[in-house]
């Protein structure tokens, strides 16, 4: 197991290098001259040369990359142009908010995916199967921003059941209940696409188990259908882990839209604000943080998979 983990971590190193290189390239290849932008068009050549040297812009690209990477590893992601604050200081609290939202959405993905998948697997050709298939196609096709707007229109503006956006500290005046009220709509909007995909995979996995020898022998022993289903769900769960982990990673990409529309103060919202303000250091920082989290989640999924299923380790 340790060997597997070490190898998996080693394999992630080149990927992380590539990811950071792509993010760096987007910093370095920005059209326009940063020196001219800083000093204005009429600056004397000496001042230009001095600033170019101070920013290290006269170094070759690979040197600048290593330099940038060193800073990034130390938590220095540059300074936000619009906010005039270190990018890391802005990103860190936002990351906490994003993880709260992602965790809530992930819970919905698992519960909904299993329920919808099981509905389809039990009677694949019956009405349950057709409903499950149609609903998962609808969920998979539902863009986060469309769902977010529709949910706000119906549940916040129309019915006035839930708040249209924002959030509260769990320890604030409203307590955890108020946080939950703010979480429901954004979590649903973020969860739908991954939920649909999870339902499809779980439906296929559970269907195979239900049609196999395990289910036959359980039935032959006289177990009630509910008990047979319980055992078969257990048997189909490794598939759920793989796809669920992938979906956890993909939840991270939907947050840009969901957080923006629900005014949720996370990394995605920050990224949207940075994009509208053309605040490139903040854009790079946000993309880097989410991409690294994405790679990290994938490693965790592989590790969990290896822990359950020894065949993966070889």
Residues near another protein (CB under 8 A) are 14-15, 18-19, 21-23, 26, 29-31, 137-138, 140-143, 145-147, 149-150, 152-154, 157-158, 164, 249-250, 252-254, 256-257, 261, 271-272, 275-276, 280, 283-284, 287, 290-291, 294-295, 298
Kindly tell me the burial class for residue 72, based on how many C-beta atoms sit within 10 Å of its own C-beta (0-12, 13-18, 19 or more). buried
CB of 233 to another protein, least distance (A): 25
Distance between first and last Cα of the chain: 10
Among residues 154 and 211, whose Cβ is nearest to another protein?
Answer: 154
Q: How far is the CB of 84 from another protein (least distance, A)?
A: 20
Q: In whole angstroms, how close is the CB of 224 to another protein at the nearest point? A: 34
| DSSP label at residue 152 | I
How many Cβ atoms from other residues are within 10 Å of residue 160's Cβ? 9
Q: At closest approach, how far in Å is the CB of 25 from another protein? A: 9
Q: Give Dmax over CA atoms of the chain in angstroms.
A: 90
What span, in angstroms and rounded, lies between the C-alpha atoms of 103 and 147? 19
| Least distance in angstroms from the C-beta of 195 to another protein | 15
Residues 148, 251, 285, 98, CA torsion sign: positive
Which residues does residue 86 pair with via DSSP β-bridges, in sequence order?
Answer: 79
Q: Which is nearer to another protein, 228 or 248 (CB)?
A: 248
Dist. CA 196–CA 136, nearest whole Å? 4
Q: Which two tokens stand for residue 194?
A: 């991954």
Determine the Cα–Cα distance for residues 221 and 104; give it in Å rounded to an integer. 40
Give the nearer residue to another protein in terms of CB position, either 207 or 218: 207
The tokens for 306 are 């290896």
Helix (H, G, I), strand (E, B) or coil at 57: coil
Q: How far is the CB of 32 from another protein (least distance, A)?
A: 10
Q: Which is nearer to another protein, 202 or 257 (CB)?
A: 257
Residue 184 or 280: which CB sits closer to another protein?
Answer: 280
CB of 207 to another protein, least distance (A): 15
Report d(CA 234, CA 227) in Å as an integer.
11
Q: Give the C-alpha separation, 253 to 247, whole Å.
A: 10
């Amino acid at each position: 197991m340790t060997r597997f983990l070490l190898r998996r971590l080693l394999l992630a190193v080149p990927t992380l290098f590539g990811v950071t290189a792509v993010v760096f390239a987007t910093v370095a290849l920005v059209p326009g001259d940063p020196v001219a932008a800083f000093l204005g068009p009429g600056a004397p050549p000496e001042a230009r040369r001095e600033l170019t040297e101070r920013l290290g812009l006269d170094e070759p690209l690979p040197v600048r990359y290593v330099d940038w990477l060193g800073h990034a590893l130390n938590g220095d992601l540059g300074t936000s142009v619009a906010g005039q604050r270190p990018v890391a200081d802005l990103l860190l609290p936002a990351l906490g908010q994003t993880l709260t939202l992602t965790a809530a959405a992930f819970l919905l993905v698992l519960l909904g995916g299993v329920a919808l998948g099981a509905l389809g697997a039990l009677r694949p050709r019956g009405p349950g199967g057709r409903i499950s298939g149609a609903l998962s196609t609808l969920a998979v096709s539902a863009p986060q921003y469309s769902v977010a707007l529709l949910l706000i229109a119906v549940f916040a503006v129309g019915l006035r059941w839930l708040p249209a956006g924002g959030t509260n500290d769990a320890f604030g005046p409203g307590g955890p209940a108020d946080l939950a009220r703010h979480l429901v709509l954004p979590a649903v909007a973020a969860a739908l696409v991954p939920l649909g995909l999870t339902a499809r995979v779980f439906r296929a996995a559970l269907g195979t188990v239900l049609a196999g020898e395990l289910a036959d022998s359980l039935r032959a022993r006289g177990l009630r259908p509910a008990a047979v289903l319980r055992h078969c769900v257990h048997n189909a769960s490794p598939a759920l882990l793989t796809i669920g982990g992938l979906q956890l990673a993909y939840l991270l990409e939907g947050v840009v839209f969901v957080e923006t529309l629900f005014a949720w103060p996370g990394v995605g919202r920050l990224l949207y604000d940075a994009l509208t303000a053309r605040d490139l250091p903040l854009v790079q920082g946000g993309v880097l943080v989410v991409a690294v989290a994405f790679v990290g989640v994938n490693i965790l999924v592989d590790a969990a998979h290896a822990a359950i299923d020894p065949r993966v380790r070889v």
